[in-house]
Each structure stands twice: as C-alpha cells, then as structure tokens.
Amino acid sequence: MQRTLLHAKLHRVRVTRAELDYEGSVAIDSQLLEAAGILEYERIDVFNIRNGERFSTYAIRGESGSGLISVNGAAAHKAQVGDLIIICAFGVYTEVEALNMKPRLVYVDEANHIVRTSQAIPIQAAG
C-alpha cells in the first residue's frame, strides 16, 4: 500500500500580490521554497484562512528574501493581498517510508521571513 502524507507546509504566509492576468501558479520566495523542500512546479494545495477557500496549483520560484507570495491567474479570485494562507505539499510513500517520514514545516513573521522550522506540529491542550 502507498500513503499520501504531508511533506511540506508554509504556515500562515501572507499574500503580497494577487495577479489575475498572470499565468497561473503561486510565486513563492525561493528561501521559503528551499526551507520547506518544495520544488518549482510542484503541486501545492492552498488554504485561505480568511475566507476558507481551498485550491490546488503549482509553485514557482520568487525572488530570494523578498517575502513574495503572489497568487496568480484564476486563483487570484480566491485570495487577496493581506490574506493569511497555508501552503501544503504532499508526497506518496510506501508503508516503510511513511513510518519514518517527517514533514518540513516553516513558520514566518508578518513579512514572510522565516522565524522557525519544525518537523512536527505542536499538540495543543484542550480548552
């Protein structure tokens, strides 16, 4: 059996541009792509925290250190400048690979600069 697992997450990055008339994709600061292990043209899923929109597209490399998160093409209807989004990429793993797989999680500040990375989502205490 094969399993599909989260392999990368950019958590609560801020949309800096929304370009309706640009060829589709999400342009992402290359430092963020590298930290998360997301390849250019890799499929990504995007979750908009503000409006609940979810969509799939692909990543393209943006200027390193710019903090760029540009939602382009038709996807620009689903996000506005200033929206907080979560960008995830998934991989398909064998049973053995899945047991040892650790995702690359990247957390940013308000300017989309990396503040920390992790390989586990923290457990939150109930209420």
Q: Which of 58, 93, 107, 118 is catalytic?
A: 58
**Reduced 3-state DSSP string for 34-68:** HHHCCCCCCEEEEEECCCCCEEEEEEEEECCCCCC
Collapsing DSSP to helix, strand or coil, 3 comes out as strand
Left (φ > 0), alpha (ψ -120 to 50) or beta: where does 12 sit?
left
Check if 25 is active-site: yes
- Catalogue the active-site residues: 25, 58
